[in-house]
Amino acid sequence: MGGRAARKRLSSNLCHCILASLLLIPGLFQNAASQSAELKSADSKSTYSLSMADYQDKVYASWLGQMVGNFYGLPYEFKFIEQPGPENFPYGYGSSLERLKEFNGAFSDDDTDIEYMYLLAMEKYGTTPYYQQLAEDWQHQVRERVWAANRQALALMRADFSPPLTGHKYYNSEWFQIDPQLINEIWAVTAPGMIDYAVQKTDWAARITNDSFGVEPAMHYAAMYSAAFYESDINTLINIGLKALPKDGKFSHVVIDMQKLYQKYPQNWQQARQEMAAKYAGNFEYNPNSWYAIDATLNGACAILALLYGQGDFQRTMDMSVAMGFDADNQAATLGGLLGIIGGVQAIPESLLYPFGNKQWQKPFNDKYINITREDLPDASIEDMARRIATQGEKVIIANGGSKETVDGQQVYRINREASFVAPMELAKAPPLFIEVNQQFEFEFYPLLHHQSLDYVRFSIVEGSLPEGVTLKDNRIFGVSGKTGIFQVTIQGVTPGMTNRQTYTLSIHSKNLAPEAEAVIHNDKEYQQLDDEIFLIRDGKRGLRDGLSQGDTFYSAPQAKAPASADTYGYRFKTAQEISTLLFNPGYVKEDSGWFTSIHVQYLDNQQEWQDVKALNITPRLELHNNKYLQGKVIDHLVRFQPVSTTAIRIQGIPGGTQPDDPEQHKVFQSAISELSVHQY
């Protein structure tokens, strides 16, 4: 129920709620049009004025708008892929109504819950937490209902990596997916009018899960969010976002493409969507092993089209977000938040804030946010969440050259438009780095953000030393070592006013013996023909840097019955070998299977009996359970044990599996492996 009349009724209802409950944010819905005009007259190129009342209203509206869009899009998530949705507008909440009724208010989803986690982190650690602090919160609070780049980032955290390596394209196989667009709006909401700061901070936060052009749509959104506190024109906002992107970036070309499509088909959104999908929906060189429907670039293109064809109307924009398809609830949530900032609470149709009428709920979504997705994430009042976000925004404003003043009896923020974000000096954590002797090695321990350079940062070794042939240069270690052994080195990074140290372990091992094996062992069979698929486990291609793809991963035969029989992988040699180390990489674990729930390492003794090795140590640990949300892809696991002399070595474990989300698909158990190398030491 949109329109002017509905907005007047909404304003009346909300004012009544303020008087009745005295719980709303003070001054949240104050009409400050004349005062805002006076404030704008005092603005300059470098400063911007925003009343506290307006800021609080816009923050509240942004949070409401994100939830509206999330619930509006959820029933249509991935429903429209090959074709756009029908023009049966308005779509309405659909099946989300049942859940809103069940929880008697709003409920958490991955389009809002991580931002709530980030709010708690800002309150606990400060407005810019360290990566390591955020990673600790992720590991505690995110245990299920996590997908794509977010899931892989979580798995890497549990494998002793810290951001930004958890989003790096050499470690996170899904670095190009949609995830940063879901979870980072809060950094711009707390940086009103501070466009550079908002974009740079969003880039920094997005590296927790993504890399390269995979973070660019989120950066574009951040610029629009930050600018929307003073700019209301949709086309201007899109261009502000475009200006904030890397000039040679992939998404800048996408935005321009979408603008041209809108100009070409101003009255035919379906044709624009079809031409957009023809160009951006699919598997390309960068994403051959992943589901393209959750691609960051593709869904970012959908958002720009929805914004253009919505032209600032909230209801129309929600319907366009859904009709564009793919991961529709993300676009609807992000654009709902953006339009909330632009127009405040009164811009959101009453029918979307009160889907059961305002007699059943006295406040939007009954002023309840119920956690159903994350560990130890407390239920909250929506109004209180908005107030707390605004409190963090005030801290950001003042800490970055702004101020709070009293002007004609009202509290006003003077905002430094030219503020820029300075990321904490923090060297990434990593598990022991597996290196094979006489093989090229490279490790980037301090990846740069889009706006960063090495001009103001220096790195040096303060403890330990690198092996001969390996060098520290700028933000990376690289080289070829001709010497085996364990080398620990502590690197110090220094920028103006900040210093940080991190210790890295270089685990350099003798040459891989697997290519010399007489046979590859898998379950009860030995394979000797080089064209057998199982031979890919010794081809030396184990990581994303090596170009590993899903086709380089071997999957055991699916088992339908529980308990599943053990899967084994190993080698038989013609003569006895001294062995103390294996390198296991599972490759591309599947969505619902492809991992072990137990693991043994065994060798063949002199009596030709299989025996467990002693003093087994696996680093980083394997996730030996059936929680699919914690299983990682393409992660090296260093397997060490007491040396043995043997003609055969193998790993053995029970394969895992879970019931797919599609009830028509059957649960199966299987394991996955891309590489198993063997080393004397």
**Which residues are known binding-site members for Mg(2+)?**
327, 329
Amino acid identity of residue 498, one-letter, is M
Q: Percent helix, strand and coil across the chain, each rounded to 5?
A: 40, 20, 40
How far the first Cα of the chain sits from its last, in Å, is 71
Distances from the Cα of 182 to the Cα of 34, 113, 219, 296, 334, angstroms: 36, 9, 12, 10, 7
**What are the CB-based long-range contacts (under 8 Å, 24+) for 465-472?**
465/489, 466/506, 467/506, 467/508, 470/441, 470/506
Cα–Cα distance for residue pair 308/304, rounded to 1 Å? 6
Q: Is the dihedral of CA 330, 389, 57, 245 positive or negative?
A: negative
Per the annotation, binding residues are: 327, 329
Q: Which residues contact 31 (CB under 8 A, 6 or more apart)?
A: none
Per-residue DSSP letter, 671: B
The residue whose two tokens read 């756009």 is: 84
Reduced to 3 states (helix: H, G, I; strand: E, B; else coil), residue 321 is helix
HSE of 395, CA atoms in CB hemisphere, 13 A: 14
The residue whose two tokens read 């708690």 is: 120
- In this structure, are residues 435 and 545 in contact, taking their beta carbons and an 8 Å threshold? no
Q: Which residues contact 332 (CB under 8 A, 6 or more apart)?
A: 68, 69, 70, 72, 73, 306, 318, 321, 322
As to burial, measured by CB atoms within 10 angstroms (0-12 exposed, 13-18 middle, 19+ buried), residue 102 is exposed
Cα–Cα distance for residue pair 333/114, rounded to 1 Å? 13
- In this structure, are residues 599 and 618 in contact, taking their beta carbons and an 8 Å threshold? yes
Q: Which residues contact 14 (CB under 8 A, 6 or more apart)?
A: 24, 29, 345, 363
CB atoms within 10 A of CB 530: 7
Nearest CA among 332, 294, 349, 390 for reference residue 55 = 390
CB burial string 424-458: b at 16+ within 10 A, e below: ebbbbbbbbbbbbbeeebebbbbbebbbbeeeebe
CA 303 centroid distance within chain? 18
Cα–Cα distance for residue pair 543/549, rounded to 1 Å? 9
Q: Is the dihedral of CA 133, 137, 143, 144 positive or negative?
A: negative
Nearest CA among 635, 99, 627 for reference residue 375 = 627
- Phi/psi for 670 (5° steps) reads -160, 160
Q: Please report the beta strands in 152-277, taking only residues with DSSP state E, as ranges in sequence order.
A: none
Cα–Cα distance for residue pair 300/284, rounded to 1 Å? 16
Reduced to 3 states (helix: H, G, I; strand: E, B; else coil), residue 451 is coil
- In this structure, are residues 382 and 24 in contact, taking their beta carbons and an 8 Å threshold? no
Give the torsion through C-alpha atoms of 115, 192, 239, 212, to 10 deg: -40
- In this structure, are residues 171 and 205 in contact, taking their beta carbons and an 8 Å threshold? no
**Phi-psi map region of 64: left, alpha, beta (phi>0 left; psi -120 to 50 alpha):** alpha
